[in-house]
Structure 1
Amino acid sequence: MKNKLLFSFLVLFSFCVFAAIQQQRPTLYIIGDSTVRNGSGKGSDGLWGWGSLVGAHFDTTRIHLENHAIGGRSSRTFLTEGRWDKIMASLKPGDFVMMQFGHNDGGAINDTSRARGSIKGIGDETDEIDNLLTKKHEIVHSYGWYMKKYINDTKSKGATAIVCSLVPRNVWKEGKVQRASSDYGKWASEVARSEKAFFIDLNEIIAKKYEADYSEAKLKSEFFPGDHTHTNYAGAKFNAQAVVEGLKDLKKCPLTKYLKKK
């Protein structure tokens, strides 16, 4: 009887210690679209997002990762669907939020299909609509407005915001990968700078790496089996490495101390 009680006590004690350690670890929350997390996060039809593979570069005994990205979402709909509220409910000082949106923000603002578009740019203009898809009245803001909200909400919790420009598509022109340097990549950079958040120019980092070692045809064969936007496992792994490279270049970003030491 005494041995059973002792065993039960040790099990309970171990569980409490483990729970305490888990609570003490900071969490890296990742938010974005299907290029960050495809399907269940374990790949969908062979397609993967970089957020599902970037955890391999972190010491997960010291930091916890949660990839909340979901396919089809824009900076607007990730918020309006209540997904951001769930993160805010648990976000705590010392945590991190890494965000990448833009691929879906250029869609229609109001239709019966997806109604996910945001106003282009980083301004304060709004569009008041009766959403044909959700049947709700909604005030739609700019891409920059939504990104600013994620950044400032993160900072209000004592956490660190890291903005990524969107990963490039396998679209080339005259031997060069087409950049987002005149729209969403540019706006992501401007928002990060104005709100004093860390910024990884993922669009430019990956585009340069593609151009150095690949052609459009080779990329399609190795990374883009279905379309020009969604990568397979190898492509997502490649992009995750690019995220880490960009992270290492950030000066005084506290997230870097949780990367694995090689």
Structure 2
Amino acid sequence: MKSNKTYLLISLFSTFIVFSSCIILKQKEKPTLFLIGDSTVKNGKGKGDGNLWGWGSFLESFFDKDKISVENDALGGTSSRTFQTNGLWAAVLAKVKKGDFVMMQFGHNDSSPLDDTARARGTIKGIGMESKEIYNPIKKKQEIVYTYGWYMKKFISDIKAKGAIAIVCSSIPRNPVNNEKIVLVTDSYAEWAGQIAKDEKVDFIPLNQLIKDKYAASSVEQVKSYFTEKDHTHTNEEGAKLNASFVVEGLKAVKTNKLNRYLK
């Protein structure tokens, strides 16, 4: 009898261990949504210093945290080029696993000079295969610079190789208020982002256009209330939350995207 009780206790304990292991394994397998981009995705440390906010700081609130993690790895001042050449992308990619998602938004800083002494972060305009060898005065060495499209496609290729899902967002529009009028302009980088997503067969969120449509239906004062007074690019908390909501709106429009199942 004692032997049977001992056997029963061992069996129950073993079952408990197996069950607990399955729970832990399931928790470890929870996918992650990684965000990469510039300061309009995460400004500074993402804590709103100086009332400067990026939309990535508020995107997590739209997702079920029990089912997915959201990690904002964007960094202010970066372009699609420098996010890669400065080692930031390698650090993110090392964490990406099969079934994860990587959402990217670049463009604002890609129009900067290729080889200035301030940042040397620009990319060649367009989505072709052109390249140019330059001397990088920041790193004090020669560097081959490619197009905006080349760097974006490199992100996507790396993501696919990991068995993860890439999602491209067009960059948010800058403050369109000029002389107390709303002047909406065409953004080449927004158009190129859409073409890149189409060429690479990945999902695209036309964030630039979604936000501009909102601005077009708003008053000058309302639009101005979304931005800081420090420049014409960065949003305040209200503007960043608005942009995050449009990221989700754009995501919902992509019916086949597996990320939608994790939305609240």
Q: Same fold (TM over 0.5)?
A: yes
Task: Mark the runs of 5 or more structure 1 residues left unpaired by the alignment.
Answer: 1-12
- Aligned AA for 1:124? M
The answer as to whether partners of 1:124 and 1:145 remain within 8 angstroms in 2 is yes
- CA gap 1:222/1:123 in 2 versus in 1, 3 angstroms: closer
Q: Does 1:178 align with 2:185?
A: yes
Correspondent of 2:34 among 6, 29, 44:
29
Aligned positions of 1:91-106 closer than 5 A? 91-106=96-111
- Of 130, 141, 146, 1:136 maps to 141
Deviation at 1:210, TM superposition (A): 1.4
Which residue does 2:241 correspond to in 1?
237
Mapped partners of 1:22, 1:83: distance in 2: 26
2:214 is aligned with 1:209: yes
Over the matched positions of the two proteins, sequence identity in percent amounts to 54
2:263 maps to 1:259: yes
Deviation of 1:211 after TM superposition, in Å, equals 1.4
Deviates more, 1:17-26 or 1:228-237: 17-26
Question: Contact conserved, 1:225 with 1:231, CA < 8 A, in 2?
Answer: no
Q: Larger radius of gyration, structure 1 or 2?
A: 2
1:151-162 pair list within 5 angstroms: 151-162=156-167
Cα displacement (A) at 1:89: 1.1
Q: Size of the alignment, in residue pairs? A: 246
Normalising by structure 1, report the TM-score.
0.89
Is the CA contact (8 Å cut-off) linking 2:207 and 2:247 kept in structure 1? yes
Retained in 2: the 8 A contact 1:225–1:232?
A: no
Kept in 2: contact 1:31–1:98 (CA 8 A): yes
**What is the CA deviation profile of residues 68-98 of structure 1, one whole-angstrom value per residue up to 9, with x for unaligned ones?**
0010000000000111111111211100000
Residue 18 and residue 115 in structure 1: after superposition, are their counterparts in 2 closer, same or farther (change >3 A)? Answer: farther
Query: How far off is 1:176 after superposition?
Result: 3.9
Contact 2:175-2:227 at 8 Å conserved across structures: no
Q: TM-score, normalised by structure 2?
A: 0.88
Specify every segment of 5 or more residues in structure 2 that has no aligned partner in the other structure, as ranges: 1-17
Q: State the alpha-carbon separation in 1 of the partners of residues 219 and 75 from structure 2.
A: 28
Q: Is the 8 A contact 1:165 1:189 kept in 2?
A: yes
